[in-house]
Chains A and B, each alone.
Chain A
Amino acid sequence: MLRVYLIMLLLFVTLSAEKFVLITNRENPIKSLNKEEIKQIYLKKRRFWGETKLTTLNLPPSSTLRQDFERDILGMRAKELENYWMRQHYKGQRPPYRLKSPQSVLMFVKKVKGAIGYIPLSLLDKDVRVIYKGTI
């Protein structure tokens, strides 16, 4: 009986984990990224990919997808990131653009060559390129 409970629990956790994708414009030369590259790009330590200027996109701070993305992909807590961007303010660097919803992110990425953003897998369509698939 215990084994059945454990299997059900595992199944529940697997099904409830949200799948997300990091997407970019189809004309962007990026084919795929690993976690470290995503971190470098989202912290704007790397602002170009070859000759293409990258534009990173964020959801509002209250978004659970953003919170999970920052914790699991960037490996930083919200407060750490706040502090990081304040130090960057002195260096003349700004944080990623903030958009209101995953739908806005999708629209922006379709229009801007260097745009990169994360959306739930359920919103994905064929007009954008997936450069990272994740579960958080």
Chain B
Amino acid sequence: MIRYIYLTLILSFFTLSFADENRYQLGKGFQIGSLPLYVGGYFSLEYEHSYGKERSLTMDDVAVMVYGGSGNLSYMLELEAEDLYNEVYGAEEDEEVQDHFHIERFYVDYEFNDRYKLRVGKYNSPIGFWNLNPINVLRDTSSSPAIVEQLFPVFTSGIDMRYYLQKEMSTTIHFIAQENEDVEKLINDDIYNNFDINRHYGVGVTLQDAMLSYQLNAGQFRTVMDEEYYYLLAGFEYKENSFKFQGEIGTQFDDDKSTIPYIGYLQYAYYLQEEHELIIRVESYDNKIEDIKDNFVVLGYTYRPLYPIALKSEYQWHSWKQENKLQLSISVLF
């Protein structure tokens, strides 16, 4: 099976790479004829060595995107096979292959004018900085900060009303609402989201100029097990040509108690040259539900021979048990 996966990916990659330069450029997708229909995708292959535990090789995030638009309308469909292939070295059942795709994103946008846009469907929740560029090839490091996985649902199936105003700083406000089960339920019971939710309401404000961004989010969600949580998140990002400095902090609680009293990170990314990036990230959180309190440092190096191809390595030092690990990955946007 794994041979066919590799063969398909390699053939697709080379076919597209050697296609007519005017029609295809790696990392930008390609248009089907002259239709408002563009096709692209991405994949990543990750190796993880957790000390005191096991080593694993995972073909993660193999996805196909189809999108386009005309007039005020546009659409996006993204199907993804998460952990398409996973091999754990030293384990009894050492190879696992997922044979179906998830609906990662499936939405329609209607842009009323320069201020208002309505999105309906399943989309990346517009919360924080990392969740808007959530795929390996676009991230600074192979791993995302813990705040992304623990604080809020990364996907919302509902509506997103966006308000945008350009003055000295641009202001973007999102109102998101979900009062139904995940769109994935239409085809599959295996939900692709970090929380299996049937309700999510949230509001987010982003202020941004050329170098500085501020972000504030608040929301409430309910899982299919009738557990209700509230979250708050605040973040900032400062960018210059040679570096980027950012941080986010959040908290989560239910009606009775604090479930995540604090979770956050500070990250400094330094661009040695255009292709080379050094990253240091310090994270800390206290998750009462999982009963984990952890402080850790992530040191990463990313090399991009071309922007849509990323070779990444990172090492994590954890204070919680033996969670230290090495992660290596190659990821491609096509």
Main secondary structure of the interface of A (DSSP, over half): mixed
Provide the residues of chain A in CB contact with B76, threshold 8 Å.
92
CA distance A87 to B29 in the complex (A): 11
In the A-B complex, list the 7 residue pairs whose CB atoms are closest, starting with the nearest: A92-B67, A48-B114, A86-B27, A92-B76, A83-B307, A51-B113, A48-B113
CA distance A2 to B302 in the complex (A): 52
Contacts A53-B72, A85-B28, A86-B28 hold; do A46 and B133 have CB atoms under 8 A apart? no
Say whether B33 faces chain A, with CB atoms less than 8 Å apart.
Answer: no
Q: Decide if A92 touches B113 in the complex (CB within 8 Å).
A: no
Say whether A71 faces chain B, with CB atoms less than 8 Å apart.
Answer: no
Provide the residues of chain B in CB contact with A37, threshold 8 Å.
166
CA distance A95 to B27 in the complex (A): 12
Chain B interface residue count, CB cutoff 8 Å, equals 31
Picked from A36, A40, A48, A89, the residue with its CB within 8 Å of the CB of B29 is A89
Provide the residues of chain A in CB contact with B135, threshold 8 Å.
90
Q: Which residue of A lies closest to B167 (CB)?
A: A36
Q: Decide if B40 touches A87 in the complex (CB within 8 Å).
A: no
Between-chain CB contacts (< 8 Å), 22 pairs: A36-B166, A40-B170, A45-B164, A45-B166, A46-B164, A46-B166, A47-B114, A48-B113, A50-B113, A50-B114, A53-B71, A82-B27, A82-B307, A86-B27, A89-B28, A89-B38, A89-B333, A90-B138, A92-B65, A92-B69, A92-B76, A95-B28
Taking CB atoms and an 8 Å cut-off, the chain B residues in 78-129 that contact chain A are 111-114
Binding site for A on B (CB under 8 A): 27-29, 38, 40, 42, 65, 67-69, 71-72, 74-76, 111-114, 132-133, 135, 138, 164, 166, 170, 210, 274, 307-308, 333
Contacts A46-B166, A47-B111, A49-B114 hold; do A87 and B274 have CB atoms under 8 A apart? no
Say whether A79 faces chain B, with CB atoms less than 8 Å apart.
Answer: yes
Taking CB atoms and an 8 Å cut-off, the chain A residues in 50-96 that contact chain B are 50-51, 53, 75, 79, 82-83, 85-87, 89-92, 94-95
Q: Which residue of A lies closest to B307 (CB)?
A: A83
CA distance A92 to B214 in the complex (A): 24
Q: Which residue of B lies closest to A51 (CB)?
A: B113
Q: Which residue of A lies closest to B274 (CB)?
A: A79
Q: Decide if A46 touches B138 in the complex (CB within 8 Å).
A: no
Contacts A45-B170, A92-B65 hold; do A87 and B133 have CB atoms under 8 A apart? yes
B60–chain A nearest beta-carbon distance, Å: 16
CA distance A89 to B25 in the complex (A): 11
B23–chain A nearest beta-carbon distance, Å: 12
Q: Which residue of A lies closest to B116 (CB)?
A: A48
